Amino acid sequence: MASGGAMAPGNGDGVVMFARVAAAAVAISALLATGGCSIFGSSTANTSSASSADLGPEETGGIGVNAYLWRAALDTLDFLPLASADPYGGVIITDWYANPEKPDERLKATVYILDTRLRADGVSAAVFRETKVNGAWTTAAVSPETNVALENAILNKARQLRLSNLE
């Protein structure tokens, strides 16, 4: 950071690029999404009157977390190389990704699915950023808004998936 709290030119470019790429991934996924995916159960089983106590394989897809949030997180992060995905623990960890247009910066994300219900507080995301300084990767700041933007992109995709199964 420059003195006075202002960002030096170029420091936020990677964060903005990541947010744009994530938004584009969500938009493309929404256009390509098809209803009736068998991992989400039958479309008649999910009703708006179901309580969290009534959740069965339709909402969880037989995994330990909400299937809509899980699928949405994977779809949203599909442009990043996947390092680890645990559907029972609800953790997705990506490997480092460097945008070819900005090879001196790389990003990685970790997403936690925290609930079996499709809720706004059911997902948590953390984005990590490194920049190359004198040939070595060093940790760089990521705006908290970036994490919130990623969480919101996942939630929006999960809502779209659920709505497509209700039709």
pLDDT at 147 over 50: yes
Rounded to the nearest 5°, which phi and psi values hold at 30? Answer: -65, -40
Is residue 1 one of the residues assigned to a domain? no
Number of domains in the chain: 1
The mean pLDDT value for 125-130 works out to: 97
93: in domain:
yes
Mean pLDDT for the stretch of residues 57-79: 85
What is the C-alpha to C-alpha distance for residues 111 and 74, in angstroms, rounded to an integer?
9
On whether the CB atoms of residues 106 and 97 are closer than 8 A, the answer is yes
pTM of the full structure: 0.65
Please report whether residue 5 resides in a domain: no
Give yes or no for residue 88 having a pLDDT over 70: yes
Burial of 100 (0-12, 13-18, 19+ CB in 10 A): exposed
Amino acid code (one letter) for 147:
N
pLDDT digits (tens, 9 = 90+) for 110-125: 999 999 999 999 999 9
